[in-house]
Amino acid sequence: MHEASIALSILDVISERCNAEGYSTVESVRLKIGRAAGIMPEALVFTFDAAKHDTLARDAELVIDIVPLGGYCVRCGGNFEAEDAYVLNCPLCGSADFKIERGYEMEIVEMEVK
């Protein structure tokens, strides 16, 4: 499963950072995931919880902020956000000439450590 390998790489990043900085416990990890990133948050939390037991993050809670798809339209100049995982036309004027700027990201925003 796609989310399982993401959960494992998040755990890797966390462990590396804790080892480098001398922390032994992770209390929470906050992620930013774009709506169009193709990641199911529930599946990611599930696999993270299943994989964390032998790691520094065994007590960590994975918190996920969903970033809506967003961009701007070349024709009308408007900025827009979309609830869906894809946009076919500018929601403001219907043009297909638009640029997507947000909604594909997947990054660790912060972690609380001890």
- Return residues touching Zn ion (CB under 5 A): 73, 75-76, 90, 92-93, 95
Residue placing its CB nearer to Zn ion in the complex, 17 or 102: 102
Residue placing its CB nearer to Zn ion in the complex, 50 or 88: 88
Beta-strand pair 69-73/79-82: antiparallel
Round to whole Å and give the CA distance between 70 and 83. 9
- Identify the helix (H) or strand (E) that includes residue 4: helix 2-21
Measured from the CB of residue 45, what is the shortest distance to Zn ion in angstroms? 36
Measured from the CB of residue 75, what is the shortest distance to Zn ion in angstroms? 5
Are 40 and 52 a contacting pair, CB within 8 Å?
A: no
Residue placing its CB nearer to Zn ion in the complex, 60 or 90: 90
